[in-house]
Chain A
Amino acid sequence: MRDAEFLIEAMAVQLRELLARRGIAEPALVGIHTGGVWIAERLRQRLGIITPPGRLDISFYRDDFSRIGVNPQVRPSELPFDVDGRHLVLVDDVLYTGRTIRAALNELFDYGRPASVLLAVLVDRGGRELPIEANVAGSRLELPADQHIQLTGPEPLQLLLQTAP
């Protein structure tokens, strides 16, 4: 179990620097349900961004519907700003295969045409199956497939590392 706030601070430092380098003053954050939403709100406070963060539930965009069906805990997606021409930062807890991010990008573009999209994650655990990389990562490690890493929260935010039985 690890305190996630420390990693979020690392994300904030990297993100602040990246946004400055790109000349982006007021990006809109978009958290992916559920962990990404918690992290996006904390990043927004640390970076002093005014725009309230959006939230995406990518359940209807998953590529494995014909294998697992619909997630019964699906929640509404909500983007409380105009996506068109906006610089967005997509926020998620764990980056693994890249399939969630692909689904999130597809969903984002159904709201409009953003000026750019950056990806910020708490943990990049390796194991990619798609050509997707994070611009910002609180931590980068290579975990074997039988290890499961999960963010619990919202208060406190903690990373749980488990080995599959």
Chain B
Amino acid sequence: MSTTNIQLDRQGRLMHFLTVEGLSRRHLTEILDTAESLRGVAERRVKKLPTLHGKTVVNLFFEASTRTRTTFELAAKRLSADVLTLNIANSSTVKGESLLDTLRNIEAMQCDMFVVRHEQSGAAEFIARHVRPHIAVLNAGDGRHAHPTQAMLDVFTIRRHKPDFPNLQVALVGDILHSRVARSLIHALNILGTGDIRVIAPRTLLPAYVENLGVRVFHNPAEGLRDVDVVVMLRLQKERMEGALLPTEREFFQRYGLTEERLALAKPDAIVMHPGPINRGVEIDSRVADGPRSVILEQVTNGIAARMAIMSITLGNHARPTGGKA
């Protein structure tokens, strides 16, 4: 996919945020630094900045989501934008006329940003190719392809605990095959120069040629989790399962679920992450999910700051200079 071309302008500035692929470390670091500056806003009396005052953000959710939708809404509101969320059920295909019609109608409402979630890979890019030039498009998850804002909030959370990416061991465990979160996170970790990225999964839940993503593959958690700094558990995508890739959830938990015993293999100060919503007792034991090394709820908090950063950077890059002194 040639998404990289469309999300950057000729000066290499981020105009849309569709995928982490093809971005440079400078792009990612700018997002992370901006998110760091925005994180404190939530602790103030007025949890709001005037930055996007007068802008209109439209959340186009063709696929159900609670956490992603609400954190995008909050992020836009904390930047003073007006927000409209459309939950569009029964979406037709990306190529269908109805999507373009929807787009034209919403464009006619003078909005400045689309946040798109769609079950089809490439939907956000399709929209970015067809919107009017002043509109920024953010990908809030497209099929199995990418979930770049989740990847950014994940690396943001990792950096706040363990900023030395070249000396970091990160393990992603579980359903890599169906996970756009895993794909985007692996790209982001590679761009930031992460020393060792591991995926731990049964063969049936790994995409073909997964090694080409720049990861080391393990099928046994007892080997893969040894001495890691970060454990990222992935949600078992039950709704995406086509056919029986797994015997039972119970067996999955026995072989791959993160328990305190397995976590003991990691470094003593390892952190545990999960993009949510968690399946307790399927991919993660409650004692780990609620335990002292879990940063799962911190990820939610950081998600707002990361999305605020991406919104303000992409909309800011659509700014048009008109002269005048600072």
If over half of A's interface residues share one DSSP class (helix, strand or loop), that class is named, otherwise mixed; here it is loop
Contact with B along A87-130 (1 / 0, CB 8 A): 00000000011010000001001111000000000000001000
Nearest B residue to A65, CB-CB? B51
- Tell me the minimal C-beta distance from A82 to chain B in angstroms: 10
Binding site for B on A (CB under 8 A): 57, 59-61, 64-70, 72-78, 96-97, 99, 106, 109-112, 127, 145
Do A60 and B325 touch across chains, with their CB atoms under 8 A apart?
Answer: no
Say yes or no for B316: interface residue by CB 8 A criterion: yes
Do B34 and A68 touch across chains, with their CB atoms under 8 A apart?
Answer: no
Known: A61-B49, A64-B324; 14 extra A-B contacts, CB below 8 A, are A57-B37, A60-B49, A60-B51, A61-B51, A65-B52, A68-B316, A70-B51, A72-B34, A76-B36, A76-B39, A76-B40, A77-B37, A96-B325, A110-B46
In the bound complex, CA of A85 to CA of B312 (Å)? 32
Do B320 and A75 touch across chains, with their CB atoms under 8 A apart?
Answer: no
Say yes or no for B137: interface residue by CB 8 A criterion: no
Do B44 and A111 touch across chains, with their CB atoms under 8 A apart?
Answer: yes
Do B38 and A60 touch across chains, with their CB atoms under 8 A apart?
Answer: yes
Binding site for A on B (CB under 8 A): 30, 33-34, 36-40, 44-46, 48-52, 79, 312-313, 315-322, 324-326
Chain A residues lying within 8 Å of B318, measured Cβ to Cβ, are 69
- Tell me the minimal C-beta distance from B289 to chain A in angstroms: 29
In the bound complex, CA of A39 to CA of B10 (Å)? 39
Chain A residues lying within 8 Å of B51, measured Cβ to Cβ, are 60-61, 65, 70
In the bound complex, CA of A109 to CA of B46 (Å)? 8
- Which of B44, B48, B325 interacts with A145 by CB under 8 Å? B325
Given A69-B313, A69-B317, A69-B319, A74 and B324 touching (CB < 8 A)?
no
In the bound complex, CA of A97 to CA of B30 (Å)? 28
